[in-house]
Amino acid sequence: MHDLLFAMYMGGPDSIQSIQPFLYNLFTDRDIINFKIGRIPQQWLAKIISTKRSRKIAPEYEKMGGGSPQLKYMQSLLEKTEFIYHEKYGRSLDTKIGMCYYHPYIQDTLKSIDPEEYDNIYVISMYPHYSYTTSGACFKRFYAYMNMRPFERFKAITHWHLNESYNNCLLKRIKSAAERLEVDINDAYILFSAHSLPEYTLREGDYYARHIDEQIKLLTDRLSHSNYSLAYQSRTGPMKWLGPETRDVLKNLVAKGVDNIIVVPISFVSDHIETLIELDDQYIKEAKASGASIIRSDSLNDSDDFAEAVIDIILDE
Ligand SMILES: C=CC1=C(C)c2cc3[nH]c(cc4nc(cc5[nH]c(cc1n2)c(C)c5CCC(=O)O)C(CCC(=O)O)=C4C)c(C)c3C=C
Ligand SMILES: [Fe+2]
């Protein structure tokens, strides 16, 4: 009567000193970003970029308390998931975390797991949409480990953007943002903001943009809402990325006189630099300076309803 949930994600720096090694790991991974210059030159470039960028973004991580809140949210969410799973099904659930670019690394956590201890093993990426740059990079590490020490059986959950319980959590946050704006949801403009990807990933057939579109259709159908658009944030570097950019779209909306805007971060489940700093502290603050009412819908973080949704996601057939 003992199950395991192994949850994978990006990972984030846990101190100011760890920003550079985190960024180095990220920029050397040719799945998340491929500079198309060969492996060794990419490592060399990653050293330069990570050193320069870590200095630039250190003040932003300082503002968040000196590190990323990502791991803490994930730990707290999964503790709740263990509790609810036991309450609901009378089975115990162990949860373990493995990250791509910072501790605890996927390979290290996997070493600590004895698959024989478990009846059911669920392996999930905490990115709701599938992209080979994100969930793909997590599962690549998982399967690389499996080649050496295979688990006999496990269930892989690679994407879950259309899961009903998860989308109910988002709908609740969007409606409560409208309440905070003190407008009817039908009178609000919804700007979905997704993390951008380099355009070449689309040409290579990546699913991400399609998954984002599918989820936005589901959410706006459920809200019977037609006053919305999608923009992309967090591009890094000079290559072509998916657009339009969230910052520009917000500015243009406000310039056109659109008011009561709800910004919905669609590709993240918890708060971190992209929501707390880039959206709240930069783009929304800038756009609000003109007097428009703009609000961000809350992230799911370690909320009880999201912990319930995680169980629904792993048990979904
Ligand atoms: C360089 C290429 C990057 C791609 C492609 C990319 C895709 C991508 N990322 C997320 C989610 C997160 N990204 C986060 C931080 C972050 N991402 C990149 C680069 C790429 N991301 C960098 C360099 C950084 C560090 C911050 C910065 O320098 O701007 C995070 C937060 C990490 C943390 O601090 O907790 C998340 C989460 C998605 C969903 C995605 C594409 C689907
Ligand atoms: Fe990112």
Q: What CATH number should be reported for the domain holding residue 186?
A: 3.40.50.1400
Residue 247, in any domain of the structure: yes
Q: Is the CB of 208 under 6 A from ligand 1?
A: yes
Ligand 2 mean position, distance from CA 179 (Å): 30
Tokens at 126, concatenated: 């905490």
Mutate to test the pocket of ligand 1, among 273, 276, 277, 283 (most ligand atoms within 8 A of CB): 273
CA distance 76 to 74: 5
Specify the pTM.
0.97
Q: Is residue 14 part of a domain?
A: no
CA of 187 to the centre of ligand 1 (A): 32
Query: What is the distance in A from the centroid of ligand 2 to the CA of 234?
Result: 7
Report how many domains make up the chain: 1
* 26 within 8 A of 32, measured Cβ to Cβ: yes
DSSP, collapsed to helix, strand or coil, labels residue 183 as coil
Which ligand is closest in space to the CA of residue 196? Answer: 1
Q: Is 299 in the pocket of ligand 1 (CB under 6 A)?
A: no
Closest CA to 60 of 287, 302, 273, 316: 273
Domain-located, residue 61: no
Q: Is 274 annotated as a binding residue?
A: yes
Which pLDDT score is estimated for 237?
A: 84
236 lies in some domain: yes
For residue 208, the enclosing domain spans 164-296
For residue 93, tell me if it sits in a domain. no
Q: Where residue 1 falls among pLDDT bands split at 50, 70, 90?
A: low
Specify the DSSP class assigned to residue 198. Answer: B
Rounded percentage of the chain residues whose pLDDT exceeds 70? 100
In a domain, 203, yes or no: yes
Judged against a pLDDT cut of 90, whether residue 150 lies above it is answered with: no
2 part of a folded domain: no
- How far apart CA 162 and CA 160 sit, in angstroms, is 6
- Is 200 contained in some domain? yes
